[in-house]
Structure 1
Amino acid sequence: MSFLIAAPGSGSGKTTITLGLLRALVRRGHTVRGAKSGPDYIDPRFHAAASGLECFNLDAWAMSEARIGSLAAGSTPLIIEGAMGLFDGAPPDGKGACADLARMLEVPVVLVVDAAHMAQSVAALVSGFANHDPNVTIAGVILNKVGSPRHAKMLERALAPLGVPIFGVFMRDSSLTHPSRHLGLVQAAEHPKLEQFLNAVVDKVEACVDLEAIEALLSPLPAGGNCPAIAPPAQRIAVAQDEAFAFAYPHILNDWRTAGAEVSQFSPLADEAVPDFDFVFLPGGYPELHAGRLASNTIFLDSLRDHAATRPVYGECGGYMVLGDALTDADGTPHKMAGLLRLETSFAKRKLHLGYHYLTAAHGPFDGNWKGHEFHYASTLKADGPPLFEASDAEGTQLPAMGLINCNVSGSFAHVIDRA
């Protein structure tokens, strides 16, 4: 059986332990895939580096059960990394929690507990999680950030009456901390010593985890239901892909390919010209960290403007900002962008915009009803023109319209995930 790695809350060490388990199982001769609960864009690249296979998102709020089952099914066992706490989801009722995935896919949970500031109380915490929902099975516990062998013994004695297996005990180790920035971890492609880091993590996992117990949880998931594919917006699609534009969801690109579209990648950061295709997609990423370089990449910008004169261009979040007139970086320096939308954005005064959205568009490549997610710190200084999406939040409360559309060019801060 495949399994899900969860925790009582964020910051417990799920990502590090997931990466170590993926790499450790590969070392032991297994073929295993990683998946990430929710709309995370960064952890999946680390999963892929650790396992050697593409990682994808499973989003219990934005995706149908049929899509989740279809993505998770296959001949390769799956390790799903949860987000936030096991039962934490969107308001008002927690829909989209990784516990929803455990129920849908009928997979057990390995609970990672940050034990740094507790002793006997660990039993009450684990008992509460194990008994909170009869349809969610806690297969075992990994204790993390343990202070000493004596501390470990106290935790083990407290947990013994519960009968919940302890799969591993990790002592505190600051050397396994990831470098991070405002949207989370530094991207895998930017990590200065990624292989060295992964090997250090896997060495720790091999020393601290009962891998035979973990191996006993491995088996493929059964075939999922039929899921309607997301239709491609054109036959030949050019997708920006580099350190500035890295947040395209694999399931959408794979749907387009499955439907027969040709999907090709190019790098705006390398000043590559936009391919002579039918449609250009600029996904999210970190253009604010490369704004000066992008502003000077005239081959990319001129070819993008030429393309937009006759064919559609779509931008999400970071890609949306690049389609605008100007982007001001965190130092307060404005940089001229493509000028295809009357949009000016800034990171000089950061404000978090976060949450799931229902989206409806009458025009553009994503017309109809969708579910999506917004996560950025940019402020909008100016946005003139017809909006792209009508929007409401996860509770159905109407929000201001999102995005802009200008002839062949459209975009918004929302990341589209699936049909509503």
Structure 2
Amino acid sequence: MSFIISAPASGSGKTTITLGLLRALSRTTAIRAAKSGPDYIDPRFHEAACGQPCINLDAWAMTPDRIRSLASGPTPLIIEGAMGLFDGAPPDGKGATADLARILNLPVILVIDAAKMAGSVAPLANGFINYDPSVRIAGVILNNVGSPRHEGMLRNALKDIPVLGAIPRAPELTQPSRHLGLVQAQERPDLDAYLNQAADLISQSVDLDALQQLHTDPLPAHDAPTRQPPAQRIAIAQDAAFAFSYPHILNDWHDAGAELQFFSPLRDEAAPKADLIYLPGGYPELHAARLAANATFVDSLRNSGAQIYGECGGYMTLGETLTDADGITHKMAGLLPLDTSFATRKLHLGYRSLQATGGPFAGNWTGHEFHYATTLRAEGKPLFTAKDATGAVLPPMGLIKDRVSGSFAHIIDAA
């Protein structure tokens, strides 16, 4: 029993249903989770729901061998898709959830938001089922069903399609969100109660026995080259302001023999002695005043002889100033000639092909950019040359100055 949860479009309820399934199934059996695409937030909810680490599987940024290696194992795997089933990066949709279904030969469960339809659900479902024979849709879960009468109309229209569940409208399960997605799992004191509530609803509304009887071959062991660490001793910022690090990258470093140490800038902890200090992305703009006042943390960066690398929010923290959403400018570490602002928001989004001109990540990488911050000033040598998903050349990204470097791009894998 391994499968993919997908939908015709974003906003259909995939995440809530996936979390409910993970918690419900984990009550009786071990279950693993994965998330399609470059997502840092949903995987932490998955981990809380099933008690197992959640991996990212990215069909644009990773090779098929890398995906098979990360997904392999005897424990059943539930993958939550991103966007709609066939939605990927331009120009040809590469990286869609459908690509994962093909690479891993897994069935897809299609979640349909049925709130505003009845008989029209049939051509929608049939269209997805028949669109691509290489993608096997094993059944549908109907979401936002208004009443037993509504459910009957939907099931009658889908009489030739397996309906694996019909979930009533549950506005109380709507999750709070902010500009980069859901409010983080670690910020939800009610998370366990929420997950149990979602699991109870799923247990009542979905045929869990039918899902568990889906025939899928175990995902076989599959070796892929381990990516070498950028340093032997790596200090990693980790808290609510710096939460966006990929487990597969940290696992690569650990498995290759690197020593990983974690510290919290928000708690004003000094960066441990290391060869590399890594500041991942996150939400420093929400904590800018606190970070600016945390002299122990900031001084440890300034006085360290280690290489320092920042991604997205970590990059902003390494600059001279960060202006928050209220227009208040805060002094940051001052290690890069960079000023950024969240007062004027502009979306920057998309996959990136990157080539580092130096720093700890020399070479070619796949990555992703997703932020609303604006660069007010960036002076000096760029860190990356960059292209978008179509291969179009982008302006150089990031900065490198002596032992300090960073950019708004999140590295996903070696290219």
Please report the TM-score for the alignment, with normalisation by the length of structure 2: 0.99
Structure 2: which amino acid aligns with 1:6? Answer: S
User: Is 1:362 paired with 2:357?
Assistant: yes
Following the alignment from structure 1 to structure 2, what is the Cα–Cα distance between the partners of residues 128 and 265? 48
Task: Give the SS at the match of 1:254.
Answer: helix
Following the alignment from structure 2 to structure 1, what is the Cα–Cα distance between the partners of residues 152 and 328? 55
Task: Give the SS at the match of 1:354.
Answer: strand
Contact conserved, 2:74 with 2:220, CA < 8 A, in 1?
A: no
Following the alignment from structure 1 to structure 2, what is the Cα–Cα distance between the partners of residues 219 and 239? 38
Could you report, residue by residue, the CA deviation over 1:160-214 in whole angstroms, capped at 9, with x for unpaired residues?
0xx3211110111110000100001000000131011111101101110101011
* 1:222 to partner: Cα distance: 2.8
Contact conserved, 1:77 with 1:221, CA < 8 A, in 2?
A: yes
What is the aligned partner in structure 1 of residue 88 from structure 2?
Answer: 89
* 1:364 to partner: Cα distance: 0.9
Task: Give the SS at the match of 1:229.
Answer: coil
Contact conserved, 1:78 with 1:220, CA < 8 A, in 2?
A: no
User: Is 1:339 paired with 2:334?
Assistant: yes
Displaced runs of 4 or more, over 3 A: 218-221
Structure 1: which amino acid aligns with 2:411? Answer: V
Could you report, residue by residue, the CA deviation over 1:113-162 in whole angstroms, capped at 9, with x for unpaired residues?
001111101000000000111111111110001111111111100000xx
What is the aligned partner in structure 2 of residue 44 from structure 1?
Answer: 43
Contact conserved, 1:77 with 1:218, CA < 8 A, in 2?
A: no
**Paired residues, what number?**
415
User: Is 1:389 paired with 2:384?
Assistant: yes
In the alignment, which of 176, 181, 189 is matched to residue 184 of structure 1? 181
User: Is 1:11 paired with 2:11?
Assistant: yes
User: Is 1:304 paired with 2:276?
Assistant: no
Counterparts of 1:189-268 in structure 2, within 5 Å, are 189-217=186-214, 221-268=218-265
* 1:219 to partner: Cα distance: 6.1
Following the alignment from structure 1 to structure 2, what is the Cα–Cα distance between the partners of residues 221 and 245? 35
RMSD (Å), alpha carbons: 1.0
Following the alignment from structure 2 to structure 1, what is the Cα–Cα distance between the partners of residues 29 and 83? 28
User: Is 1:286 paired with 2:286?
Assistant: no
What is the aligned partner in structure 1 of residue 109 from structure 2?
Answer: 110
Could you report, residue by residue, the CA deviation over 1:244-275 in whole angstroms, capped at 9, with x for unpaired residues?
00000000000000100011111000000100
Contact conserved, 1:48 with 1:55, CA < 8 A, in 2?
A: yes
Following the alignment from structure 1 to structure 2, what is the Cα–Cα distance between the partners of residues 81 and 386? 39
Task: Give the SS at the match of 1:256.
Answer: helix
Following the alignment from structure 1 to structure 2, what is the Cα–Cα distance between the partners of residues 56 and 330? 32
Task: Give the SS at the match of 2:158.
Answer: helix
Structure 1 stretches of 5 or more lacking a match?
none
What is the aligned partner in structure 2 of residue 378 from structure 1?
Answer: 373
* 1:218 to partner: Cα distance: 7.2
Structure 2: which amino acid aligns with 1:396? Answer: G
* 1:223 to partner: Cα distance: 2.5
Following the alignment from structure 1 to structure 2, what is the Cα–Cα distance between the partners of residues 317 and 104? 30
Following the alignment from structure 2 to structure 1, what is the Cα–Cα distance between the partners of residues 364 and 214? 38
Task: Give the SS at the match of 1:292.
Answer: helix
Contact conserved, 2:350 with 2:368, CA < 8 A, in 1?
A: yes
* 1:220 to partner: Cα distance: 6.7
* 1:226 to partner: Cα distance: 2.7
Contact conserved, 1:109 with 1:139, CA < 8 A, in 2?
A: yes
Contact conserved, 1:316 with 1:411, CA < 8 A, in 2?
A: yes
* 1:394 to partner: Cα distance: 0.3
Following the alignment from structure 1 to structure 2, what is the Cα–Cα distance between the partners of residues 224 and 305? 44
What is the aligned partner in structure 2 of residue 35 from structure 1?
Answer: 34
Contact conserved, 1:75 with 1:220, CA < 8 A, in 2?
A: no
* 1:79 to partner: Cα distance: 0.2
Following the alignment from structure 1 to structure 2, what is the Cα–Cα distance between the partners of residues 345 and 173? 40
Following the alignment from structure 1 to structure 2, what is the Cα–Cα distance between the partners of residues 366 and 135? 37
Following the alignment from structure 2 to structure 1, what is the Cα–Cα distance between the partners of residues 306 and 208? 53
What is the aligned partner in structure 1 of residue 26 from structure 2?
Answer: 26
Contact conserved, 2:72 with 2:222, CA < 8 A, in 1?
A: no
Task: Give the SS at the match of 2:366.
Answer: strand
Following the alignment from structure 1 to structure 2, what is the Cα–Cα distance between the partners of residues 418 and 171? 40
Structure 2: which amino acid aligns with 1:8? Answer: P
What is the aligned partner in structure 2 of residue 152 from structure 1?
Answer: 151
Following the alignment from structure 2 to structure 1, what is the Cα–Cα distance between the partners of residues 154 and 91? 34
Counterparts of 1:135-146 in structure 2, within 5 Å, are 135-146=134-145
Contact conserved, 1:279 with 1:311, CA < 8 A, in 2?
A: yes
* 1:225 to partner: Cα distance: 3.5
Please report the TM-score for the alignment, with normalisation by the length of structure 1: 0.98
Could you report, residue by residue, the CA deviation over 1:11-54 in whole angstroms, capped at 9, with x for unpaired residues?
00000000000000111x21001100000110000000000011
Percent identical residues:
67
Contact conserved, 2:336 with 2:400, CA < 8 A, in 1?
A: yes
What is the aligned partner in structure 2 of residue 127 from structure 1?
Answer: 126
Following the alignment from structure 1 to structure 2, what is the Cα–Cα distance between the partners of residues 136 and 179? 33
Contact conserved, 1:74 with 1:220, CA < 8 A, in 2?
A: no
